[in-house]
A and B are shown apart, each in its own frame.
Chain A
Amino acid sequence: MKYKGYAGKILRVNLSEKKISNVEVTDYLIENYLGGAGFCSYILYKEMRKDVSSLSPENKLFFCTGPFTGTLWPQGSRYVVAAKSPLTDGWGEAHSAGHWGAELKFAGYDGIIVEGKAKKPSIIVVIDGDVEIKDASHIWGKNVKETDEIIKKEFDRKMKVACIGQAGENLVKISCIMNDVDRAAARSGIGAVMGSKNLKGIGVVGNGAIEVADKENYLKIIKKISEKMLSDPLTPERIKYGTTSLVELMNEIGRFPSYNFQKGQFEHADKIGGEAVLRYLIKPRADFACTQRCARYTCIKEGKYKYIGGGPEYETLSALGSRCGNSNLESILYGHYLCNLYGMDTIGVGGTISWAMECYEKGLITKDDTEGLDLSWGNHDVIIKLIHMIANREGFGNILAEGSYRAARIIGRGTEKYVMHVKKQEIAGQDGRAQKSMGLAMAVAPRGADHLYAFPVLDEIGFEEKIKEIYGEEYLPEIGDRLSTKYKAYMIFVNENFSVIVESLGACKYGTMVPPALFYDEVIDALKVTTGISYSRKDLEKIGERIVSLNRMFNIRVGMSRKDDNLPERFLKEPMPTGPPKGHVVDLDYMLNEYYDLRGWNENGVPEKKKLKELGLEFTIDDLPRGDEDA
């Protein structure tokens, strides 16, 4: 391997056969897919048949770092974990940070592919070059915090642990994988995939080293990039509030989802926003090599909601707060803490509970369904009860554990109408009616209802100088107007290409997308001194396009197409009631047509053969559906 910055090999663990082997990280892989999301996209497409069932032993769970993970890129901490999603039955991907990914690289691995299913609950223990599958029967049933402590005590207190809680064990479809106790790889139901393999956790100790290509200039280049990050005008706010102050901002622009998206403004936003959270803040905390320290560490000192731990983020304040009509901040903080302990995606949990609350409000779900629980808006006692019930699949919680899309199909009675999802995954705390680019972004993202795949932010407020720099002056003013659909397809196209590069590098979107401090120039410099690769912006954009179309093909071959790039009726037909976006709906078709065109996909959203060839994706051409192949 001629490049530095990588460990050079990926660990493959087959839990059925108890076999451990290595996969070489080839120059081809590095040059064409970079790492992280790119590696996951390529390897899982090639190694998995399209008809694999997501909770079967044939599904593969791939944890993958990037060349920047474990290095001094200003947030060099991230890893991706990918598999076929039990929520969407399509491409599934989750991202996390903390310190686990860096530790894996120091142990000598760029990633771990987990296959098969263990006969008994197991953990994988990686101590530098030594890899073993160990019995975890005594840990099965424990929460994430207990699991972390037990594994560290048994093996090494320096060990970094990625694990599931009871929710993943119970195959809850909105469960997640946690690492370093309070960092979450949350979406796509990825926790259930790990649980279906009887895999409780992966503990890593890494005493090894990562080499950089240009030892002489490395620190100098990194210092410059770091300073750009730290001096961005948005950074002080990030440090002080994390993402919690987005509550106030989103509420102001009418994009703060409330009452299951019936409204875009919450009358009690000030009770659950960044200022309110400050009262519970112990301090900001950082992931590996992160200069921005946006993670929160908080506590409630006494009472029924007493806890100490990481979080919350904006998403949770929305998901368990405004979306449920809940203005009780302490219950939101405690609910977040429980989701971390059980290993559940707060967006999925909040999205599912708030759906049930709207159905309850409309009399479609009654106390007969909920076994007497009162699902009135803002009933935080019940929200907390439901979190326990969902994680343990108890009573009504067993239905909610399927996620809102499937729960609605189980109950019927017209409850389907109120599910706020795309491709069966719950929508996050963004409303496409209040920011049209976000509407397109979540409709087309491969893992379903994903605000982060494209993460359009620069049209939220201002950022005109940045818009000129990144997209071009000729697209102003419409591209900077969040209520206009014009040029938004182009915005999403540019964003997705860069964003998948960020996820392939092991870098963080906070610092690249927002604050928009670091872009292609910085990535190119860092890539050169870290790995030795000399790439231009055009080279990187091509890799970005490649990964996006490859993710697309993963979904196309399981039968998805334009019909799945859809938004809930509420976004398409119900005008926003208040605030700046009052009266707006999402004109999705217009943006979709433009987007497909930019991507080189046909009007059914299927990549055209010539585009696939251009991007080096010939191996996917046989998977094109009949009738959608062009000449």
Chain B
Amino acid sequence: MHRHLYGDPMTCTGCRICEVVCSIIKYGVISPSLAGIRIIREESGEDTPNTCRQCKNASCMRACSENAIYSEDGIVKIDSKRCTGCFVCADACPFDMIVKVYSKNIATKCDLCGECVDFCPTGALTVRGA
């Protein structure tokens, strides 16, 4: 099984510290809309961390016409120098996990840096398939 970030919906309490940490580490500002992880709050009580699955035959990779998206060590990455900000990859992703960075006109995504796992207060986040 390939490596990817996973969050347990019943351990997660929906605090979204992961979203904030991601945006600070990657962009130096607090902005959950820039995060590569997003918590979905359900009425059932589940708080589901929506994460990039680092798909083997990634839809985002296949959709990109600039060859900007590639796989390295099982992690799907976007080359910001090749990215033109067309965001076709975002439309293609079945999990809505591509981040559209309008201010820089590029797409970004989770690169499994693991900082969110470190800051999660409940231990809900893990890297699976490691």
Which of B17, B29, B44, B47 is within 8 Å of A209, CB to CB?
B29
Question: In the complex, which range does the number of interface residues on chain B fall in?
Answer: 20 to 34
The answer to whether A240 has its CB under 8 Å from any CB of chain B is: no
Assess whether B121 is in contact with A230, with CB atoms less than 8 Å apart: yes
Complex alpha-carbon distance, A230 and B120, angstroms? 12
CB distance from B105 to the nearest CB of A (A): 15
Stretch at the interface among B30-38, B53-61, B80-88: B30-38
Assess whether B21 is in contact with A297, with CB atoms less than 8 Å apart: no
For A223, the chain B residues whose CB sits under 8 A away are 119
The answer to whether B72 has its CB under 8 Å from any CB of chain A is: no
Complex alpha-carbon distance, A73 and B64, angstroms? 39
Complex alpha-carbon distance, A612 and B110, angstroms? 54
Complex alpha-carbon distance, A289 and B27, angstroms? 18
The answer to whether A197 has its CB under 8 Å from any CB of chain B is: no
**Contact of A70 with B30 at beta-carbon distance under 8 Å, contacts A283-B45, A290-B15 already known:** yes
Interface Cβ pair total, 8 Å cutoff:
75
Assess whether B24 is in contact with A219, with CB atoms less than 8 Å apart: yes
Assess whether A288 is in contact with B30, with CB atoms less than 8 Å apart: no
Complex alpha-carbon distance, A289 and B13, angstroms? 10
Fill in one digit per residue for A284-326: 1 if any B CB lies within 8 Å of its CB, else 0.
1111111101000101000000001000000000000000000
Assess whether B33 is in contact with A207, with CB atoms less than 8 Å apart: yes
The answer to whether A561 has its CB under 8 Å from any CB of chain B is: no
Most chain-B Cβ atoms within 10 A of its Cβ — which of A106, A209, A210?
A209
Nearest B residue (CB) for A282: B45
For A207, the chain B residues whose CB sits under 8 A away are 31, 33
For B122, the chain A residues whose CB sits under 8 A away are 293
Assess whether A285 is in contact with B119, with CB atoms less than 8 Å apart: no
For A218, the chain B residues whose CB sits under 8 A away are 24
Assess whether A209 is in contact with B30, with CB atoms less than 8 Å apart: yes
For A230, the chain B residues whose CB sits under 8 A away are 121
For B3, the chain A residues whose CB sits under 8 A away are none
Assess whether B31 is in contact with A106, with CB atoms less than 8 Å apart: yes
Interface hits, A133-162 → B, CB 8 Å: none
Complex alpha-carbon distance, A287 and B47, angstroms? 12
**Contact of A286 with B14 at beta-carbon distance under 8 Å, contacts A219-B21, A308-B43 already known:** yes
Complex alpha-carbon distance, A401 and B11, angstroms? 40
Complex alpha-carbon distance, A287 and B15, angstroms? 5
Complex alpha-carbon distance, A287 and B39, angstroms? 12
**Contact of A226 with B24 at beta-carbon distance under 8 Å, contacts A106-B33, A283-B10, A286-B13 already known:** no
Tally of contact residues, A, Cβ under 8 A: 32
**Contact of A308 with B14 at beta-carbon distance under 8 Å, contacts A209-B29, A209-B30, A215-B28 already known:** no
Fill in one digit per residue for A225-255: 1 if any B CB lies within 8 Å of its CB, else 0.
0100010000000000000000000000000
**Contact of A286 with B15 at beta-carbon distance under 8 Å, contacts A72-B20, A308-B44 already known:** yes
For A299, the chain B residues whose CB sits under 8 A away are 45
For B30, the chain A residues whose CB sits under 8 A away are 70-72, 209-212
Assess whether A293 is in contact with B29, with CB atoms less than 8 Å apart: no
Assess whether A209 is in contact with B31, with CB atoms less than 8 Å apart: yes
Assess whether A210 is in contact with B29, with CB atoms less than 8 Å apart: yes
Assess whether B20 is in contact with A283, with CB atoms less than 8 Å apart: no
The answer to whether A395 has its CB under 8 Å from any CB of chain B is: no
**Contact of A72 with B44 at beta-carbon distance under 8 Å, contacts A208-B31, A226-B121, A286-B14 already known:** no
Assess whether A72 is in contact with B17, with CB atoms less than 8 Å apart: yes
Nearest B residue (CB) for A297: B45
For A290, the chain B residues whose CB sits under 8 A away are 13, 15
Complex alpha-carbon distance, A215 and B24, angstroms? 8
Interface hits, A572-609 → B, CB 8 Å: none
For A285, the chain B residues whose CB sits under 8 A away are 13-14, 45, 47
Assess whether B20 is in contact with A289, with CB atoms less than 8 Å apart: yes
The answer to whether B23 has its CB under 8 Å from any CB of chain A is: yes
The answer to whether A99 has its CB under 8 Å from any CB of chain B is: yes
Complex alpha-carbon distance, A198 and B14, angstroms? 32
For B33, the chain A residues whose CB sits under 8 A away are 106, 206-208
**Contact of A284 with B31 at beta-carbon distance under 8 Å, contacts A291-B121, A293-B122, A308-B45 already known:** no
CB distance from A617 to the nearest CB of B (A): 34
Q: Which 4 A-B pairs have the closest CB atoms?
A: A209-B31, A286-B15, A286-B13, A209-B29
Not counting A210-B31, A230-B121, a sample of 5 additional A-B residue pairs whose C-beta atoms are within 8 angstroms of each other reads A106-B31, A212-B24, A219-B119, A293-B122, A308-B43
The contact sample of 20 A-B pairs, CB cut-off 8 A, is A70-B30, A71-B30, A99-B16, A206-B33, A207-B31, A209-B27, A209-B34, A210-B29, A212-B30, A215-B24, A218-B24, A219-B21, A230-B121, A283-B13, A283-B45, A284-B13, A286-B13, A289-B20, A291-B121, A293-B122
Binding site for B on A (CB under 8 A): 70-72, 99, 106, 206-212, 215, 218-219, 223, 226, 230, 282-291, 293, 297, 299, 308
Binding site for A on B (CB under 8 A): 10, 13-17, 20-21, 23-25, 27-34, 43-45, 47, 119, 121-122
